[in-house]
Every structure is written in structure tokens, then in C-alpha cells.
Amino acid sequence: MFPLTRRDVSHPLPEAHSGGARPEVCDDRPVSASSTVRRVGRPRAVERPRSELSPREEILTAAAELFTTHGYAATSTRAMAERAGIRQASIYHYFGGKEDILAELLESTVRPSLETARALTGGTPEQRLWELCYCDARLLCSGPHNLGALYLLPEVHTERFAAFRRMRDELKDTYGRLLAETSAGAALTPAERALRTDLLFALIEGVILIRRDAPGEMAADVLETLAAATADAALRLAGVPDGDLPGLRDTGRGPA
């Protein structure tokens, strides 16, 4: 059995991997970064139900909800503070401003996929490509908010978000390298391979539009089915024969 693993959606997610251990692949993209241990920080503006989230995580969670439902431009730091249950000034204890919050949310949709790609060291190129497609699609559809929709904001094309764009370009390049290593991809010309990479990457990110039509958090079985179907479609686009897909699903998703 190909030794790739995937994380069950019901399990808690680690923030970082220990030094020598191989990171687990296919982590869901969290809305917030860091651990669930509450930090010492600025006092709250209003009393809210006890939460395991730190104030920083609650700010990110509030921003994710407001940005995806009311829009980035229409969301003020005051509104985020009220939703998070903290004073408006406390936001600046954790972030430089609204742009920094958006940058963190955007980068959280790409960083785990890059970690997944680095962890995929075994198996065939086709197996690694299927696993990355599966994990990336699954991550984009995970959680209560459709953070991938934020990619379409005009602000994302400004210099402030250059780091996010570089991360996303690195992820796309990773898809291209994996495609080139497959039997079908190796037979393509450089121009054909570049176009095929564009199409493959667009297909994966297309789940953002599917999710837009089905707001809210997906049920676990729906999420799994969509991610696997997306990965299958991506491998077909890459030129992998249909008859090879069941084996890729079995090895990519690990033992039941």
C-alpha cells in the first residue's frame, strides 16, 4: 500500500511539525493560525461564551465570516472587534490592520498545501499528483467559510499581497513539476505542459465556485466525495487513463 496518509476531518490539526518527523499530508486549512491555548492579551469589550480560541484566532474567525458574507471593503475593524468580542483597539495588538488580517487568511489557504507537497516523497508521480489534488481540493472546501473566494478581491493584486501571490505561484509550479514527472506529462512539449498545468490548477480552484453555490460547512461525506472526484478529474486532464484511477484513489487516500 502506498504510504500516504490523510487527516480525518474530525481530528484536531497541528500548527507546526516537529523537527525530524515527516509532516502529515492533507491537513485542512484552518481559518485561524496557532494553537487553541488562550494567550494573555488585551481585555475583551464584551463577555462572550467561553471559547478555546485565542483572541487572535477569534479575530481571524470573525474576519473570515465578515469578509466572505459582507465583503472585504464593507467590513470595518470595528465590526470585526464586535464580532470577536474584543475592543477595536485590541485588533492592533495582534495585527497591523485589516490588510494584515486578509493576508493571513489568504496565506492560510495555500501554506498547508505547500507542506503537503513537500511531504509527498513516496509512490509514483501519478500517486503524488492525485494526493496533492485531493488534499488541495479538500482544504479549499473545508471549514465554515469559503476563504478561496477572497482570491477574487481586487486588493489581492496590490503589492501588500505579493507574498501570498508568490506562495500561490509556488504551489502552481509544484503542480507543474509533478505533472512533468508523470508518464503522460513527460510526453508533452513545454508549451503543452504549461497549458495543461494552467488547466489543472484552475480545475482544482474551481471547487471555490462550487462551494459558493453551497454556502456553509460541507458534510464530511460530501467533502470527501467532492475532493476525490476533483482529483480524478485532474488526473484525467493530466492524461492518466481512467483504468488507473481506482488504484490512485486507494493509495492516495490510504487504508480505510
Domain boundaries, the chain: 107-253
Can you tell me the distance from the alpha carbon of 155 to that of 161, in angstroms, rounded to the nearest whole number?
Answer: 8
Question: What's the mean pLDDT in 129-141?
Answer: 96
Q: Out of 6-15, 136-145, 219-228, which region has the weakest mean confidence (pLDDT)?
A: 6-15
Can you tell me the distance from the alpha carbon of 27 to that of 21, in angstroms, rounded to the nearest whole number?
Answer: 15
Average pLDDT, the chain: 84
**pLDDT for res 121:** 86
Amino acid (one-letter) located at 21: A
C-alpha cell at 251: 493509495
* Angle (CA) 244 210 28, round 5°: 70
**pLDDT for res 216:** 79
With pLDDT > 70 as the criterion, what percentage of the chain qualifies? 78
Q: What is the largest CA-CA distance in the chain?
A: 62
> Is the pLDDT score of 12 beyond 80?
no
pLDDT in tens, 218-241: 999 999 999 999 999 999 999 999
Q: Is the dihedral of CA 205, 23, 126, 193 positive or negative?
A: positive
- CATH architecture group of domain 107-253: Orthogonal Bundle (1.10)
With pLDDT > 90 as the criterion, what percentage of the chain qualifies? 70
Can you tell me the distance from the alpha carbon of 208 to that of 124, in angstroms, rounded to the nearest whole number?
Answer: 28
CB 32 within 8 A of CB 56: yes
**pLDDT for res 25:** 56
> Could you tell me the pLDDT band of residue 215, with boundaries at 50, 70 and 90?
confident
**pLDDT for res 48:** 52
CB 27 within 8 A of CB 115: yes
Helices (H) and strands (E) in the chain, counts: 12, 0
Q: Determine the length of the chain.
A: 256
**pLDDT for res 250:** 82
Q: Which of 103, 116, 114, 97 is nearest to 164 (CA)?
A: 103
More confident residue, 247 or 33: 247
CB 106 within 8 A of CB 150: yes
More confident residue, 7 or 156: 156
C-alpha cell at 240: 492518466
Can you tell me the distance from the alpha carbon of 141 to that of 217, in angstroms, rounded to the nearest whole number?
Answer: 8
> Is the pLDDT score of 41 beyond 50?
no
- Residue 90, SS3 per DSSP: helix
The secondary structure of the chain in percent helix, strand, coil, rounded to multiples of 5, reads 60, 0, 40
C-alpha cell at 108: 492560510
> Is the pLDDT score of 106 beyond 50?
yes
Question: What's the mean pLDDT in 156-174?
Answer: 97
Can you tell me the distance from the alpha carbon of 27 to that of 24, in angstroms, rounded to the nearest whole number?
Answer: 7
Q: Is the dihedral of CA 235, 236, 241, 245 positive or negative?
A: positive
pLDDT in tens, 170-185: 999 999 999 999 999 9
C-alpha cell at 253: 487516500
Can you tell me the distance from the alpha carbon of 249 to that of 132, in angstroms, rounded to the nearest whole number?
Answer: 12
> Is the pLDDT score of 1 beyond 60?
no
Question: What's the mean pLDDT in 26-51?
Answer: 47
> Could you tell me the pLDDT band of residue 49, with boundaries at 50, 70 and 90?
low
> Is the pLDDT score of 43 beyond 60?
no
> Could you tell me the pLDDT band of residue 217, with boundaries at 50, 70 and 90?
confident
**pLDDT for res 26:** 67
Question: What's the mean pLDDT in 81-85?
Answer: 95
C-alpha cell at 79: 465590526
- Across the chain, where does the E strand assignment appear? none
